[in-house]
Amino acid sequence: MANESSDAPNEANLNELDPELVKLPRPKTRIRPIMAMAIIGICLTIGVRLAGDLRFSQLGNPTLVDSVSALNSDLENTFIEIRVHPDRTQALRVVPNRSTSGQVLVPTLGTNGALWLLLPTTAWNAKDATNEVYQGRLSRLADMDFHDALKAHVAKGTVAMRPIALSEVRKALNATSLEVLDVSGDRFLLQPTTAVQITETATDRVRILAVSTDPYRDEASWSLALQSAGILPGEIAPVSSTTTSWTFDVPAPHGAADITAKLRAAKLFAAQATEIRSTRTGTWSELGMDGDDILLGNAKPGFRTQSLLVSAPPLVATGAFLLDTTEEPGTYWYVIIIVLLLAAFALLFATALFQSIRRR
C-alpha cells in the first residue's frame, strides 16, 4: 500500500490562520472629499448664524442710552439700558407656538413707533420696571419673524383711543389739518372718518352726592341743609336717590371748587361736589369751533368740551428698533460651547480633506 504524500493538505491546517495574513495592515477609513466639504460647509454656515449670538454673549454691563433718538446701527446686537414709557393700550401678544405663553410686544410713547419693547408675560421672570427703565438686546424690528404679522395687524386698522390736547385740536381745526400730536408727542395723520370721543362738563352746574348721616338722615333734612348753606336754591328734588343717598344738581357759576368750599364752611362733610360729565362720540369731520370751544356735531347746551380722544393704530416707524428685555448676555452662555464644537468638527474634516487631496 502506498504511503500518503506528506504534501497533502491536512484538515487541521486548513482551520489555522496564516500568520502572514494576520500581520497585514487594515485598510484605513477614507473620508471622501465631497463629504468633508459638505460637513465643513454646514459647520461654517451654523457658525456664521451664531456669530451675532456669540458676540452678544461676550458683552458685560449694559450701555446707557439717553433717548430713543440716540439709537443707531452701531448699537444693534448690543446690551443697552434706556428709560422709556410703553404704550400699554397698544400691547400685543406674540405667541410663536402653542407650547409657550409668548411675549408682550408694545410700542413706546412719544417715539412715533421708533422703538418697541418685547416684554415677558409671566411675573416670575419679569424684572421690576416701575421706574420704566428697561434693559435688553437691541435689534431691528424688521429682522424679527413676527414683523410681517405686525404690519398686517396695523393695516387692519386695529386701534386704541388716544388723548389729544385741546390746544392741539384747535390748532389742527383752525389750519384744516389732519395731522395731530397726542399728549405723549406721537404724530398721527388722521382721516375725516377717524372716530373721536369727547368728554363734556356742565359749565354752570355741579352734582352733589349727599349720604345719610346724623343729623341728615333723609332727603328733607339734606335739602334744608343745602338751602341754608346757600347751595340749593329752593326746594329742588334730587335727580336720583337711594335709601341712603341723594344726588342734587345745583347751580355753580364758579365751578365745583366753589361749591366744595361752601360745603366745608357749612360742615356738611357727608356731601361731595363733582362736575357733571357727558361723553359723546362722532368723527373728526364733525368737529367744529365756536370761539375757543370745540364742538362735536350739535353741541349740548350748557356743556363745554374738556377732553378729546381719537382712535389711531399703533405706529411702526421705518427702521424701527426692538428692545428684547427677555434677553441678556448670560442667556446665551451655551453659544461658545456650540461654536467650539463646530470649530473642532470643521478642523477635523478640513485635515482629512487636505490629506485626501495630498494623496492624489
Task: Enter the pTM of the model.
Answer: 0.71
Residue 141 has pLDDT above 90, yes or no: yes
CB of 237 closer than 8 Å to CB of 218: no
Give residue 198's pLDDT: 94
Cβ atoms 77, 139 nearer than 8 A: yes
> Residues 299-357: pLDDT tens digits?
788 899 999 999 988 889 999 999 999 899 988 899 899 989 989 988 988 888 887 77
Q: Is the pLDDT of residue 255 over 80?
A: yes
CA distances from 10 to 4, 6, 16 (A): 11, 9, 10
SS3 content of the chain, % helix, strand, coil (to 5): 30, 30, 40
The pLDDT, as a whole number, for residue 1 is: 46
Q: Which tens digits make up the pLDDT trace of 11-26?
A: 555 556 566 655 556 6
Whose cell is 478642523? That residue is: 347
Residue 170 and residue 164: Cα distance in Å, rounded?
A: 10
318-344 b/e (C-beta count within 10 Å ≥ 16 → b): eebbbbbbbbbbeebeebeeebeebee
Grid cell of 319 as nine digits:
427702521
Alpha-carbon 90 to chain mean position: 7
Confidence category of residue 291, pLDDT binned at 50, 70, 90: confident
Strand 303-312 and strand 79-83: pairing? unpaired
pLDDT of residue 358: 73
pLDDT value of position 124:
55
Q: Is the pLDDT of residue 35 over 70?
A: yes
Alpha helices per DSSP H over the chain: 11-14, 19-22, 33-49, 51-57, 147-155, 166-174, 219-228, 256-265, 335-359
Q: Which of 334, 347, 281, 351 is nearest to 50 (CA)?
A: 334
What residues are paired with 24 via a beta bridge?
A: none
Tens-place pLDDT, residues 42-52: 989 998 898 88
Segment 264-293 shows an average pLDDT of 92
Contact 63, 75 (CB under 8 A): yes
| Residue ranges per structural domain of the chain | 29-158+314-360, 161-312
What cell numbers appear for 152 in the block?
A: 398686517
pLDDT digits (tens, 9 = 90+) for 186-239: 998 888 999 999 999 999 999 999 999 989 999 999 999 999 999 998 878 899
Q: Where are the alpha helices (DSSP H) in 3-143?
A: 11-14, 19-22, 33-49, 51-57
On whether the CB atoms of residues 231 and 260 are closer than 8 A, the answer is no
Cβ 80 vs Cβ 63: under 8 Å: yes
How many angstroms separate the CA atoms of 353 and 92, rounded? 51
Cβ atoms of 290 and 200 within 8 Å: the answer is no
